Amino acid sequence: MIFPITGQICGKITLSLFCRFTKVKEWGNHMNRNISLIRSAKLAAVDYAYASVVPAGMDVIFLAGACPLDQDGNVPYPTDYAKQSELCMDNLKEALQASGATLTDVVYTRVLVASQNQEDLVTAWRAIRTQFGDHDVPSTLSGVTVLGYTNQLVEIEAVAAIAHQEPAHFSTDLVKRVLFSGDE
């Protein structure tokens, strides 16, 4: 279930003093012009935004970690960081679609890579970053000791935001009756 979370992260006046805003582009029929990806001229130039702002009134979606599981629940490619990263992205896209979102709605990711070798982290990062294209969402890349499934090398956590929509399975009248049934 998706719950709307409202609030303002930081006033635009404060942000405009330190950052430049970039609106997310329109992709096909799906638009998200409300999320701002933020970069700072005072920080190193990197291939991702340093922050994102989700305006009040949008639904925020917290996705479980996307794992490199095939449809049978197995972890293929036990030694291939790039292929596991691609499978994680495929699974992330499916979870986003089931939530009414796309990659352009993602406002934050955390990429976990089971390795002490920085080259493995970079391999996973490149495979993931390529699929996001111009949507350079703020991300954290971390090397970890072990992940949850046998042979799992990569996992991607994500947060997305979409325009608020009433859940299709609830009628407004039903919600009012349930919420206010004791007041009548």
Helix (H) or strand (E) segment spanning residue 63: strand 58-66
Per-residue model confidence (pLDDT) at position 35: 82
Contact 161, 54 (CB under 8 A): yes
pLDDT level of residue 173 (50, 70, 90 thresholds):
low
pLDDT level of residue 46 (50, 70, 90 thresholds):
confident
27 closest CA partner among 116, 74, 93, 123? 93
- Rounded mean pLDDT of the chain? 79
Q: What is the mean pLDDT of residues 93-115?
A: 96
Domains annotated for the chain, with CATH where assigned, are 3-178 (3.30.1330.40)
Q: What is the mean pLDDT of residues 63-86?
A: 97
The Cα 70–Cα 44 span in angstroms is: 37
Share of the chain above pLDDT 70, in %: 72
Q: What is the mean pLDDT of residues 156-184?
A: 66
Alpha helices, DSSP H only, in the chain?
12-18, 81-98, 118-132, 172-180
Per-residue model confidence (pLDDT) at position 168: 58
DSSP-derived secondary structure letter, 43: S
Q: Each residue of 122-134: pLDDT tens digit?
A: 999 999 999 999 9
- Quote the pTM value: 0.71
Per-residue model confidence (pLDDT) at position 13: 25
Q: Each residue of 49-60: pLDDT tens digit?
A: 888 888 888 999
pLDDT of residue 29 exceeding 60, the answer is: no
Per-residue model confidence (pLDDT) at position 33: 53
Residue 140 or 176, more confident: 140
Q: What is the mean pLDDT of residues 169-178?
A: 51
Rounded to 10 degrees, the C-alpha dihedral 100/108/43/6 comes to: 70
**Cβ neighbours of residue 160 under 8 Å, at least 6 residues apart?**
60, 61, 63, 96, 99, 101, 105, 106, 107
